[in-house]
Structure 1
Amino acid sequence: MFVPCFCAATMLCSQLLLTNRKEMVLRSCCKFGPVSVLFRLGYLALLLLCVTHLRCARAETKTVVQKDAEFDVTYNDTVTSDNQTIYAFNHTVSRNKTEGVRVTVDVLSEGAESSPILFVVRQKQAVLSFQVPLILRGLYQRKYPYAHVGRTLCQPPTRTLSETQYFFVDVSTLSSLGTHYQLRISRVDSFTLHTDKKFSFTASPSQPQYFKYVFPDGVDTAIVKVNSEMTFPCSVMSIQDIQCPVYDLDNNVAFIGMYQTMTKTAAITVQRKDFPSNSFYVVVVVKTEDEACGGPLRFYPLRPDELIDAGNRSKTLDVVVSPAISSDVYVMGMLFCLGIFLSFYLLTFLVACVENKRSVDRFTVIYSKYIISYTPGVTPVSPYEYGSFGECVCVLIYITSLLFSLSPPLSERSLESVTGRSRQESLSSIEEDDYDTLADIDSDKNIVRTKKYLCVSDLARKDKRVLSKKYQIYFWNIATIGVFYALPVIQLVITYQTVVNVTGNQDICYYNFLCAHPLGNLSAFNNILSNLGYVMLGLLFLLIVLQRDIIHSRALDRHDLNALECGIPKHFGLFYAMGTALMMEGLLSACYHVCPNYTNFQFDTSFMYMIAGLCVLKLYQKRHPDINASAYTAYACLAAVIFFSVLGVVFGKGNMVFWIIFSVLHILATMLLSTQLYYMGRWRLDSGILRRIVYVIYTDCIRQCSGPMYIDRMVLLVMGNIVNWSLAAYGLLKTPNDFASYLLAIAICNLLLYFAFYIIMKLRSGERIQCMAMVCILFTAVVWGFALFFFFQGLSTWQKTPAESQEHNRDCIVLSFFDDHDIWHFLSSIAMFGSFLVLLTMDDDLDDVQRDKIFVF
C-alpha cells in the first residue's frame, strides 16, 4: 500500500514541478526543512519506481490472447479495452504459384464509430493496419463509415522454391463496453491474371481488389482493360509495381503507379521495361463519391464532423489483359503513313510530266506553224497571231531548268530580262504606301471602283512589284508567327507529357486509351504520326506554287503579253502563306495530341482559323488585287479571333455575359465588313459616318426607293448576314461548351458561302472550269465528306470528365495502329491540300483572256 500511495504523492509533485511552481512543490514534498541533494536523488528514484509500478499494473489489467487460426474459418469474437486478441496464421508460399490472401472484417455492434476496432496484420515484409468502421473522406472532407471491410494482403516475393510464411492479425480497441466482430481469412485462388482471359469481380470503397499479372515470354507491352455494365459508382483503375504496401484505398491509390478514373471502361497500356520484376498489380478501387466521374454532387453535411451514410456502392467489373501490338506493327504503320503521302508526290510528278509533254507538243505545232507562215520582213499584226511563241519557249526553258538546277542558260537570257530583274531586285524595299500608281489624272478611284460593272483591269492597276512585295509579307509574317507560336507550345506539351509520366495520372490527357500506342516517352505515338500528312502535303503545295511562281516570273522577265495583260493577276504570297499554315497546323496538331486536354485545345485550332481566313482572302484577291487587305490588317483580325477563342475556352462555358458581348461584336463586325465589301473599300469610318448613313437612307430608301446598284454583291452580303446572324443567335441561345469549334464553324461557313458564290458567279459570267480544277473540286468534296464522318465519331472529349471521355474510346480500325481520329487526320490533310489546289487552278481558264474582259464579283 505504501508504494502506490507514495507514487500518487510523487506524481502530484511531478505535475506541480512541470508547471514551474517550484516553491509549492518543495513545500508539498518537504515540510520539515530545506531540500537537500540527497532528498532530490531519492525523489527521482522513487519517481522511476512509481512509473514502473504503474506500467506493470496497467499491463496486469490488459489480457493478451493469441490463437492459432486457420483459413476459411469465420471467427466471432468481442474485444474491449481490457483484452487484445492475436490470430496467428501460416501458409505455404510457392515461387511458381501465387495465391492471394484476403482479410474480411465485419463489426456487428452499434455505435462503433466512437471507438473503432484496430486491426493490424503483421507480415514478413509489410504491416497492414486499418480500423473498422473504416472512415473514408470525400469532397469537402465529408466522412463515410464502412462497417464491412475487405483487404488483400501484400504478397512479398520468395527466393526459395517453397517457403512457409507466418502472419499475425492483432485486434484491439479502446472501447470499455466491448465490440463484437467477425474475422475471416481466405485464399484468393484467381489472384493471378492470365493473358486474354476475362475475370469478373466485385469491389466497393471498403473492399478494393487487386490482382497480379506476369508478362509472358515474348510480350513486351500489354494493355489492361477494365469494363463494367454500371456507370456508377465511380471507380479508379491503377497499375502498381510489385511491392509492399499496395495502395488500394480511395485516399491513397494515386500515390504511386499509373491510374485513371472510370465509369464503364478504362484501359492502360503497360510496358515491360517499366517494371523490373516483369509483373505488376492491377488495382481497382471504388470511390466514395461520383463527382470525379461527372456524377451528381451529394448533399453537404450540416456539421464538418457529421458522418454520411455511404449506402450500397458495390460495383461488378471485368478485367482482361491482352498483348499490345509488336514492333512490326509500328513499322507497318509508319510505312503506311509515309506511303500514302509520298504517293501524292509521285502523282504530282506524273501530272507535271503529262502537262510538260502537252506543252512540248503544243510548242511543236505552233513552231511548225510559225516556220511555215513566217515571211522575212513581215511582222505579225497581233502578238497572238502565231500563238504565244514566248510561252512555248518558256516551257522549254523550264524543262531545261529542271535538269540544270532550275537555272536557264545564260545565252537565252535577254539583256532586257537581266536589267528588268535587277531593277525589280533593287526595289525590294518598296512598300505599297510609298506611292499610289493609280494615276488620278487618268481616272479617279471613286469613279473606277464605283462603276456598276467592274473588270479585273479596273482593280489591277497598281504596280505589280509593289503588290508582289505586299503579298509576300503574308508569307514572312505567318512564318514568323509560326516560329514564335510553336516554340512555347512544344515546351508546354513536353512538360505535360513529363508530368503524366512522373505522376502516373492518366486523367491529365484525353487519349483514346483503347488505341494509344506509346513510343519512348510519348503516350499516343499514332495520333502524332498521323499528322505527318499536313506537313508533307503543305510542303508539296509550296513546291507546286514555287513551280508556278518561277514560270510566271520568267514570263514577266520576257515581257510576255499573256503574263502582263491576261488572266487573273498572279500573286503567290498568299499561296505560300497557305502552304506554311498547313504545315504549322500539322505541327501544332501533333503537339496537341501529345497530351490533348482542356487547356491546350486552342493549339489544334489556331492555324485552322489562319487557313480559313487566308482562303477567304485569296478568293477575294483573285478579282480585287488592288484593294485586298494588307497582311498586317489580316493578321491583326486573326489575332483578335484567336484572342476570343482563348476567352471562350476559359470563360465561355455558361457565361451569358461573355456570349452577349461576343454576339454583339460578331454582328457589328459582319455589318462593318459587309459595308466595306459593298462599296469596294471606298467607305470610311470617320466622324461623318452617321451623316452619310442618314443621307444614304434618305436618298435611296425614302426619297426615291431605288434598288441596290450592285445586285450580285448585295445578294452575297445579304446571305452572309443571314448566316452570321443565325450563328450568333445560335451561340447566344445554346451557349455551346466547345467555343473553339463554334468559332471555327463560323469561319468555315463564311468560307463555303463565299466559295459557292464565287463558283456560281464564275459560271454565270460565261467562264468555265477546266478539267484539272473540276477533278480537284469533285475529289476534294468526296474526301471532305469522308473526313467529316470520321471526325464526328468523337473518340474522346475534353468537355466532359476523363471518365466520361473514356466511354467513347474505341479500338483501332486500320492496321491495329490507327483509330478513327487518325483517319480524320489523313483525310482532312488530303482534303485541305485538294482545297488549296482548287484555289490555285480554278481560274486557269482565264490565262488567255484579257483582264478588261474578266468581270469582278
Structure 2
Amino acid sequence: MVLRSCWKSRHKSSSGPVHCWLRPGVVALLWLCVTQFVCGSVALGETKNVIQKDAEFDVTYNDRVTSENQTIYAFNHTVSRNKTEGVRVTVDVLSQSLESPILFVVRQKQAVLSFQVPLILRGLYQRKYPYKHVGRTLCQPPTRAASETQYFFVDVSTLSSQGTNYNLRVSRVESFTLQTDKKFSFIASPSQPQYFKYVFPDGVDTVIVKVSSDMTFPCSVMSIQDIQCPVYDLDNNVAFIGMYQTMTKKGAITVQRKDFPSNSFYVVVVVKTEDEACGGPLRFYPLRPDELIDAGNRSKTVDVVVTPAINSDVYVMGMLFCLGIFLSFYLLTLLVAFVESRRIKRRDVYHNPADMSPAETGKTPASPYEYGSFADNCSTLSSEAITDSATSTDNNYGYMERPLDSVGRSRQESLSSVEEDDYDTLDDINSDKNIVRTKKFLCVSDLARKDKRVLSKKYQIYFWNIATIGVFYALPVIQLVITYQTVVNVTGNQDICYYNFMCAHPLGALSAFNNILSNLGYVMLGLLFLLIVLKRDIVHNRALVRNDLNALECGIPKHFGLFYAMGTALMMEGLLSACYHVCPNYTNFQFDTSFMYMIAGLCMLKLYQKRHPDINASAYTAYACLAGVIFFSVLGVVFGRGNTVFWIVFSVIHILATLLLSTQLYYMGRWRFDSGVLRRVVYIIYTDSIRQCSGPLYIDRMVLLVMGNIVNWSLAAYGLIERPNDFASYLLAIAICNLLLYFAFYIIMKLRSGERIKCLALVCILFTAVVWGFALYFFFQGLSTWQKTPAESREHNRDCILLSFFDDHDIWHFLSSIAMFGSFLVLLTMDDDLDTVQRDKIFVF
C-alpha cells in the first residue's frame, strides 16, 4: 500500500518515478529508495497513530478503536516440545453499528490469522449472518527446542471515524491435547469454532475419532487436519483440507497414522450457519441482497473421544472367520454327497442286477406312494383327451402307456430334430396344444412333449445371457466405484459415502473393508451351487446315455439352464453388492438390487418351469422384462420422491402387467392379445358368469391368481398413497412378495396332490426359513440410509457386534447369502420324491 500510494502521489506531481525507472545503474535505485521512504513516512503519519501495549494472558482489555489510531497487543509465552498448550483469542464488539467492522490481525511465528468483528458468515443462497462475539484458537507451530519463548501480536484497527468499543481476551487452553479413551466436552458455535490436538501413542496405528452431541441441531462439521498453519476452522473454509463430515448427533472418522507424518492431527469442530446440510429447515430468503439475518443462539455442546481401532490380528481373525463359515458348507456338501452316493449304491445293488439299467431289466418303476384324485383325473383325462395325431407323434414320449421296447427307438427319433420351430409349426400339433392345455386337469406329460435337446438349449441361453449381462454390467460398475473411492480419498469428503462409520475398518484404499468382505458368501455359495447343479447334470446325462427309464420317463423333466443362471446371479449379487459397499450412496444403490430382481425373477421362472417345461418364457423375453423392472428402478430412485405423476404411471403399469400375466398363466398361453381381446373378455364374462353363473374352470389357478392380484393391487395402492422414498426396496418387496406367494402355493398344491417332501428337502426348507428370519432381523436394523442426509444417516451408526470387525449389516450379508443358497437347494431338491413317478401321474399346478 505504501508503494502504491507513493507511486500515485509522485505520478500526480511529476514524472519523476517514471524517469527513475528509466535511469540506469545505482542512481535509479537510490532515488527510488529515497522516494519510497519519504512517501511511506508521510502516509503513515497522516493515517494512523500506532499504540503498542505489552499484554498478558487471561486479562480482559476493554478499549476503543477509531480510524485515527491502531492498537497492537504484544504477547509472549513459553512453548515446550513435550507439552502443547492452546492459545485462544476471544473478542466482543460492544457497538450496535455494523457499518464499520473492526479488523483483528494476529501475527505469530509461521502464521497470520485475521478476522473482522462483526464476523459475517454466509449460508445457502448467500444469506448473511453477523456475529459480534468471536473466538478463535491460534495455530501452534511446532518447535524443535526443548523450550522456546515465542511472541505474537494482536493488531486492532478500523475505518470507523466514530470509534467502536471492544473487549479482547487472550487465554491459554490447558486441555488442548486429547487423551486416548477419555471423553472431552466443549461448546462451539459458528463464530467460535474449536479444535484440539491428538498425538498417536506408541503401538497405535489407527484410531477412531467419535464426536457426539445430545442436540440434533445446529448442524456442525467435524474435520481432521494435519498439524500445519493455518487451521481451517470456519464454515466457509473447513472443507479445504483434511477429512470432514457433517453431523447432527453423531459422527466418526477413522484416522491412520500413515496419513500424518507428524504422528498427530487436529480435531476441528465447526458449527454451520444453517441446518440444510443436515436435513434441517430451510430459512426464508432475504428481501434485499445485503440484508443481514439474525442467526440466534447456535451454540452446541459436543463430546469428543478418541479410541484405538482394531489391529491386524482382528483383520486376520475376521477374514478367517468369513472363509471358515462358507468353506464349512463345502465340507457339509461333500459329506451329504458321500452319504447319498453310498445309499444309492446300496439301493441299486439290492433292486437290480449288476450292470443292468431299469430299461434292460424290463421293470417299470413304481410310485413309492399312492396319489389322490388329482393324479387319477390327470391319468384318466390324458388318455381320453389326446387325439390320434398327438399319440402317434414320436416326440410324445411323456406317456407311460407304451411298450418298453419302444423306449430306445423313441428316444433316438426324438433327437432327430434340434429346432423348436420344427415342432411348433405343425398344424396338428398346434391343434393338439389347444386340446391339451385347456383340459381341466393337466399332468406333466401333457406339458413335456417337446424335444429335450431343444428345451435344454433353450434354457441354457438363460445361463449364457446372464453371464454376458454380468460381465457388461460389472465392469463399468467396478470402474465407477473405484472413482468414487478415489474422490473420497482425495477430497476427504466423508459425506459422499453412507458408511456405518462406527464400524468401518479401512484396508488400503478401501474405507470399509469389512462391508466388502462380508459379501464373499454370495460368491462362494453361488459357486458351490453351480458345482452341485453340475454334478446333478452329469449324473442325469449319464442316465440318459444308458437309457435309464427313470431319467427318460419319470419325474419332473430335468432342465438345468435356469439353475446355472440362478447360481451365476447369486455370484454376481455378491460382486455388485461388494462394489456398492465400496461407496454406498443413493446414486449407485441399484448396483446392490439389480441382481436381486434377477434372482427373484429366475426363481419364479424355475418354479413355473417345473410343471410347465414346454411353455416357460424364453430367456430373451424374461431378461427383457427384468430390464424393464431395472429401468423403472432407476427412474424411481431419480424421479420417484414425491412425484405424483410417476407414481400414478407406475401403479397403472403395475396393475396392467399383473392382469396380463394372470391371463397368460390362467389360459396357459392359449389366448391372443389383439384388437378383439376386449370383445372376447366381455363375451366370456357374459356367457360364463352372467348367463350360466358357472364357476371358474381352473379353480386352483384361479385361487393363486386372485391372491396374487389382491397382493399386487394392495402394493400398488400402498405405493400410490405412501410414495416411499426407497423405491428400489419397494420394487424389490413386490418381487419377493410374489415369489413367496407362488412358492407357498406350490408347496400347498404339492401336498394337496398327494405328493410328499423328502427329508433332505424338508431340512432345507426349515433351515432356510429360520435363517431368513434372522437375516431379516439384522436387515431392518438400518445402520445407515441414503434416503436422508449423510448427517442424519450417521445417527443410525452403531459399533461392531461380531469379533469387533463385523456390524449388523455384515451379519445380514452372511445370513442372506446362506438363506439364498438354501432357497436354491429347496428348488433343486423339493421334487426329488417324483424321480420314480410316471409323468402322466404328476399333477400340473
Same fold (TM over 0.5): yes
The equivalent of 2:196 in structure 1 is 211
Alignment of 1:329-368 (within 5 A): 329-367=314-352
Contact 1:417 1:557 in 2 (8 A): no
Alignment of 1:578-597 (within 5 A): 578-597=566-585
The CA distance in 2 between the partners of 1:710 and 1:718, in whole Å, is 12
The CA distance in 1 between the partners of 2:244 and 2:343, in whole Å, is 63
Alignment of 1:502-517 (within 5 A): 502-517=490-505
The equivalent of 1:844 in structure 2 is 832
The equivalent of 1:776 in structure 2 is 764
Residue 534 of structure 2: which of 542, 546, 554 is its match?
Answer: 546
Show CA shifts across 1:383-403 (max 9, x none): 44999xxxxxxxxxxxxxxxx
The CA distance in 2 between the partners of 1:165 and 1:753, in whole Å, is 77
Alignment of 1:645-656 (within 5 A): 645-656=633-644
1:237 aligns with 2:219: no
Deviation at residue 149 of structure 1 after TM alignment: 0.5
Residue 109 of structure 1: which of 90, 95, 99 is its match?
Answer: 95
Equivalent position SS for 1:170: strand
TM-score, normalised by the number of residues in structure 1? 0.88
The equivalent of 1:310 in structure 2 is 295
Deviation at residue 79 of structure 1 after TM alignment: 0.5
The CA distance in 1 between the partners of 2:640 and 2:309, in whole Å, is 40
Q: Any unmatched runs of 5+ in structure 2?
A: 1-6, 19-30, 369-405
Contact 1:438 1:461 in 2 (8 A): no
Contact 2:415 2:451 in 1 (8 A): no
1:803 aligns with 2:791: yes
Residue 673 of structure 1: which of 656, 661, 666 is its match?
Answer: 661
The CA distance in 1 between the partners of 2:712 and 2:746, in whole Å, is 18
Equivalent position SS for 1:798: coil
Give the direction of change, closer, same or farther, for the CA distance of 1:417–1:148 in structure 2 (3 Å limit): farther
Give the direction of change, closer, same or farther, for the CA distance of 1:525–1:636 in structure 2 (3 Å limit): same
Equivalent position SS for 1:814: coil
Residue 106 of structure 2: which of 117, 121, 130 is its match?
Answer: 121
Which amino acid in the other structure matches residue 521 of structure 1?
A
Q: Say how many residue pairs are matched.
A: 787
Show CA shifts across 1:691-726 (max 9, x none): 222221221122212111000000110000000000
Deviation at residue 61 of structure 1 after TM alignment: 5.1
Pick which of 521-530 and 378-387 moved more.
378-387
Give the direction of change, closer, same or farther, for the CA distance of 1:501–1:556 in structure 2 (3 Å limit): same
Show CA shifts across 1:423-455 (max 9, x none): 99998xx44334439882696110010000000
Give the direction of change, closer, same or farther, for the CA distance of 1:382–1:582 in structure 2 (3 Å limit): same
Show CA shifts across 1:194-229 (max 9, x none): 100111000000000000000000000000000101
1:690 aligns with 2:678: yes
Give the direction of change, closer, same or farther, for the CA distance of 1:370–1:158 in structure 2 (3 Å limit): closer
The equivalent of 2:56 in structure 1 is 70
The CA distance in 2 between the partners of 1:464 and 1:535, in whole Å, is 31
The CA distance in 2 between the partners of 1:793 and 1:441, in whole Å, is 56
The equivalent of 2:163 in structure 1 is 178
TM-score, normalised by the number of residues in structure 2? 0.90
The equivalent of 2:42 in structure 1 is 56
Contact 2:423 2:429 in 1 (8 A): no
The CA distance in 1 between the partners of 2:834 and 2:8, in whole Å, is 115
Contact 2:367 2:838 in 1 (8 A): no
Give the direction of change, closer, same or farther, for the CA distance of 1:96–1:425 in structure 2 (3 Å limit): farther
Which amino acid in the other structure matches residue 188 of structure 1?
V
Contact 2:424 2:430 in 1 (8 A): no
Contact 1:208 1:248 in 2 (8 A): yes
Deviation at residue 687 of structure 1 after TM alignment: 2.6
Which amino acid in the other structure matches residue 300 of structure 2?
K
Pick which of 247-256 and 296-305 moved more.
296-305
Q: Any unmatched runs of 5+ in structure 1?
A: 1-6, 19-44, 388-415
Equivalent position SS for 1:598: coil
Alignment of 1:532-543 (within 5 A): 532-543=520-531
Deviation at residue 364 of structure 1 after TM alignment: 2.6
Which amino acid in the other structure matches residue 117 of structure 1?
I
The equivalent of 1:724 in structure 2 is 712
Give the direction of change, closer, same or farther, for the CA distance of 1:384–1:425 in structure 2 (3 Å limit): closer
Q: CA RMSD in A?
A: 2.8
Contact 2:190 2:271 in 1 (8 A): yes
Show CA shifts across 1:13-41 (max 9, x none): 889xx9xxxxxxxxxxxxxxxxxxxxxxx
Give the direction of change, closer, same or farther, for the CA distance of 1:162–1:12 in structure 2 (3 Å limit): closer
Alignment of 1:696-735 (within 5 A): 696-735=684-723
Residue 448 of structure 2: which of 455, 460, 472 is its match?
Answer: 460
The CA distance in 1 between the partners of 2:801 and 2:409, in whole Å, is 60
Give the direction of change, closer, same or farther, for the CA distance of 1:245–1:418 in structure 2 (3 Å limit): farther
Equivalent position SS for 2:296: coil
Which amino acid in the other structure matches residue 447 of structure 1?
I
The equivalent of 2:727 in structure 1 is 739
Equivalent position SS for 1:247: coil
The equivalent of 1:409 in structure 2 is none
The equivalent of 1:21 in structure 2 is none
Equivalent position SS for 1:335: helix
The CA distance in 2 between the partners of 1:786 and 1:643, in whole Å, is 31
Show CA shifts across 1:574-631 (max 9, x none): 0000000000000000000000001000000000000000000000000000000000
1:325 aligns with 2:310: yes
Equivalent position SS for 2:428: coil
The equivalent of 2:282 in structure 1 is 297
1:638 aligns with 2:623: no
The CA distance in 1 between the partners of 2:307 and 2:277, in whole Å, is 27
Give the direction of change, closer, same or farther, for the CA distance of 1:421–1:385 in structure 2 (3 Å limit): closer
1:149 aligns with 2:130: no
The CA distance in 1 between the partners of 2:39 and 2:197, in whole Å, is 51
Show CA shifts across 1:47-104 (max 9, x none): x989956961652452101111111111111111100011111110000000000000
Give the direction of change, closer, same or farther, for the CA distance of 1:59–1:770 in structure 2 (3 Å limit): same
Contact 1:437 1:461 in 2 (8 A): no
Deviation at residue 688 of structure 1 after TM alignment: 2.3
Per chain length, whose mean CA-contact separation is higher, i.e. which structure has more relative contact order (CA < 8 Å, sep 6+)? Answer: 2
Equivalent position SS for 1:599: coil
Residue 172 of structure 2: which of 184, 187, 194 is its match?
Answer: 187
The equivalent of 2:822 in structure 1 is 834
The equivalent of 2:236 in structure 1 is 251
The CA distance in 1 between the partners of 2:13 and 2:482, in whole Å, is 66
Show CA shifts across 1:427-485 (max 9, x none): 8xx44334439882696110010000000000000000000000000000000000000
Pick which of 691-700 and 626-635 moved more.
691-700
Deviation at residue 366 of structure 1 after TM alignment: 2.3
Show CA shifts across 1:151-204 (max 9, x none): 000000001111110111111111110110111110000000010011100000
The CA distance in 2 between the partners of 1:131 and 1:157, in whole Å, is 27
Which amino acid in the other structure matches residue 636 of structure 2?
G
Runs of 4+ in 1 over 3 A off after TM superposition: 7-15, 48-55, 367-371, 378-387, 416-427
The CA distance in 2 between the partners of 1:677 and 1:296, in whole Å, is 51
Give the direction of change, closer, same or farther, for the CA distance of 1:551–1:99 in structure 2 (3 Å limit): same
Pick which of 693-702 and 630-639 moved more.
693-702
Give the direction of change, closer, same or farther, for the CA distance of 1:225–1:617 in structure 2 (3 Å limit): same
Residue 746 of structure 2: which of 748, 758, 777 is its match?
Answer: 758
Which amino acid in the other structure matches residue 51 of structure 2?
V
The CA distance in 2 between the partners of 1:481 and 1:82, in whole Å, is 77
Percent identity between the two aligned chains: 85
The CA distance in 2 between the partners of 1:517 and 1:379, in whole Å, is 63
Equivalent position SS for 1:301: coil
Give the direction of change, closer, same or farther, for the CA distance of 1:381–1:263 in structure 2 (3 Å limit): closer
Give the direction of change, closer, same or farther, for the CA distance of 1:386–1:779 in structure 2 (3 Å limit): closer
Show CA shifts across 1:328-347 (max 9, x none): 00000000000000000000
